[in-house]
Structure 1
Amino acid sequence: MDDVEVVVAHSERATLRVGGVFLKVDADQARLDAEVEAMFLAPVPTPEVLWRKPHVLAIAALPGTTLGRLGGPSTGSPAAWAAAGAAIRTLHDAPLPPRSGRAGRSTVALAAELDDECESLVANGLLPADLVTRNRRVARAALRPWTPAFTHGDLQIAHVFVDGDEVTGIIDWSEAGRGDALYDLAAFTLGHEEHLDDVLTGYGTDVDLDVIHAWWSLRSLLAVRWLIEHGFDPFAPGCEVDVLRSRM
């Protein structure tokens, strides 16, 4: 009998692995429905949906391995990172999905959330004021008009699988929808700035690097408190707080 592996678990959702099957348990059924819809529409490899019941989605494991994880060493050749960039571009060029995703939040809403979060981080002593102030300034470059694209919305490197120099699949589509393409590129290279050039080579078009840097700061500032409250450690080496320090 295969052991049950807890991949990730917190109060909103949990993912378990049993052999070659992943079981996603989510308190929000609409989020699971949105994930299945996005995987069906995405023009890139995605996991096979085996079945779904209320609050549970079963998907097949993908071949290959991830390119790494935030806070850990990155793996894969420059060609593999470039292949990931090409896959991301294919997604962004696809017809727009019907829903707005996490990367599609309005600049007004994001600005308000950023202001509130920065004040909370300082007031509660979670981060030094100068670190927050500097990154808050950098982050504002992301708050600009953008053309909607089909975005993944949570494109961290642990969600992209490769075999050699070929992308075999992308997982975790619950935040997908219309959004800012540069949010995806920033999420994918967060904490692995050394591979940004490889990714952009595969992506195949010029992007505004100041906006990528801004999204690194913005995403990290908004994540720190949530991560702490849900049992994760943004202060671990190479993780969100180190990303913020790298902007100083």
Structure 2
Amino acid sequence: MAGVEHVEVVVAHNERATLRVGDVFLKIDADRTRTDVEVAAMALAPVPTPEVLWHRPPVLALAAVPGTVLGRLGEPSTVSPAAWAAAGAAVRTLHDAPLPPWPGRSLDDLASRLDGECGWLITNGVLPADLVTRNREVAEAALRPWTPVFVHGDLQLSHVFVDGDTVTGVIDWSEASRGDALFDLAILTLGHEEHLGDVLAGYGTDVDVNVIRAWWSLRSLLAARWLIEHGFDPDAPGCEFDVLRSRM
């Protein structure tokens, strides 16, 4: 890293921080379990991932991934439909891989968290009660038995890098586990419903789109408090609260 002129803070809050120093990303996490999972998941995943340079808890050093991100929540995506389809194909490759040895979240845990977060949103006047209630009704469709697959667990479109129509890397694997395939597809297309068809074309198999829409509501309800408490704005244009409003 000789000759580096500055350090870029990519993200920082009281749980973790990511710094960019030249072509190296340094991830610092208070919970060692997350970086352990990230390293293990990247070793197992059959899709392009960042090179692990070294891992000395609580710090994980990763090489930068070439290309550009698929897009960002709240902003129009500038990549081609073929790039979105390539992302869908990469997700299918991951979901077809052998399961990781560690479990994921249970249905009971998700249902309990949904109860708690909806109550918090209403009690604290963060969102109108009818908006929360409607989205909770939509979200219920996601709370059904599924056949577990290897999921990324936080497949935001800014975690997928492409060069032209090729996926060059998928980053941030700390939430990887066994889970619902449609959850990954929902997170990838959250706030970008116009690209769902492209992703599903690349994914290459029929899915229940109503369940993906249910996951959009469920994810947005569950994430709101965490985002607010960590300095992010779910009410920014095109972000989580707009996703919830679009269900009305």
Taking structure 2 as the reference length, the TM-score comes to: 0.98
- Determine the structure 2 residue equivalent to 1:216: 216
- Determine the structure 2 residue equivalent to 1:90: 93
- Determine the structure 2 residue equivalent to 1:245: 245
Q: What secondary structure does 2:183 align onto?
A: helix
Give yes or no for the alignment of 1:172 onto 2:172: yes
Taking the aligned partners of 2:5 and 2:144, their CA distance within structure 1 comes to: 49
Q: How many residues align?
A: 245
Q: Which runs of 5+ in 1 are unaligned?
A: none
- Write out per-residue CA displacement over residues 23-73 of structure 1, whole angstroms, 9 at most, x where no aligned residue: 000001121111000000000000000011120000000110001111112
- Determine the structure 2 residue equivalent to 1:60: 63
Shifted more, 193-202 versus 104-113: the winner is 104-113
Taking the aligned partners of 2:180 and 2:73, their CA distance within structure 1 comes to: 21
- Write out per-residue CA displacement over residues 141-200 of structure 1, whole angstroms, 9 at most, x where no aligned residue: 000000010000000000000000000000000000111110000000000000000000
- Determine the structure 2 residue equivalent to 1:15: 18
Give matches, 1:150-165, under 5 Å. 150-165=150-165
Residue identity matched to 2:178? R
Taking the aligned partners of 1:197 and 1:169, their CA distance within structure 2 comes to: 22
Give yes or no for the alignment of 1:25 onto 2:28: yes
- Determine the structure 2 residue equivalent to 1:40: 43
- Determine the structure 1 residue equivalent to 2:123: 123
Give matches, 1:219-234, under 5 Å. 219-234=219-234
Taking the aligned partners of 2:20 and 2:102, their CA distance within structure 1 comes to: 29
Give yes or no for the alignment of 1:79 onto 2:79: no
Q: What secondary structure does 1:44 align onto?
A: coil
Q: CA deviation at 1:135?
A: 0.1
Taking the aligned partners of 1:32 and 1:107, their CA distance within structure 2 comes to: 25
Taking structure 1 as the reference length, the TM-score comes to: 0.98
- Determine the structure 2 residue equivalent to 1:134: 134
Taking the aligned partners of 2:5 and 2:52, their CA distance within structure 1 comes to: 20
Taking the aligned partners of 2:154 and 2:33, their CA distance within structure 1 comes to: 17
Q: What secondary structure does 1:153 align onto?
A: coil
Q: Which runs of 5+ in 2 are unaligned?
A: none
Residue identity matched to 1:200? L
Residue identity matched to 1:196? L
Taking the aligned partners of 2:5 and 2:24, their CA distance within structure 1 comes to: 10
Taking the aligned partners of 1:185 and 1:112, their CA distance within structure 2 comes to: 23
Taking the aligned partners of 1:54 and 1:165, their CA distance within structure 2 comes to: 35
Taking the aligned partners of 1:54 and 1:131, their CA distance within structure 2 comes to: 42
Residue identity matched to 1:54? P
Return the match for 1:6 from 4, 9, 16: 9
Residue identity matched to 1:127? L
Q: CA deviation at 1:89?
A: 0.1
Residue identity matched to 2:84? W
Taking the aligned partners of 1:108 and 1:38, their CA distance within structure 2 comes to: 24
The 4+ residue runs of structure 1 with deviation greater than 2 A are none
Q: CA deviation at 1:2?
A: 2.6
Taking the aligned partners of 2:54 and 2:5, their CA distance within structure 1 comes to: 19
Residue identity matched to 1:241? F
State the percentage of identical aligned residues.
78
Shifted more, 106-115 versus 89-98: the winner is 106-115
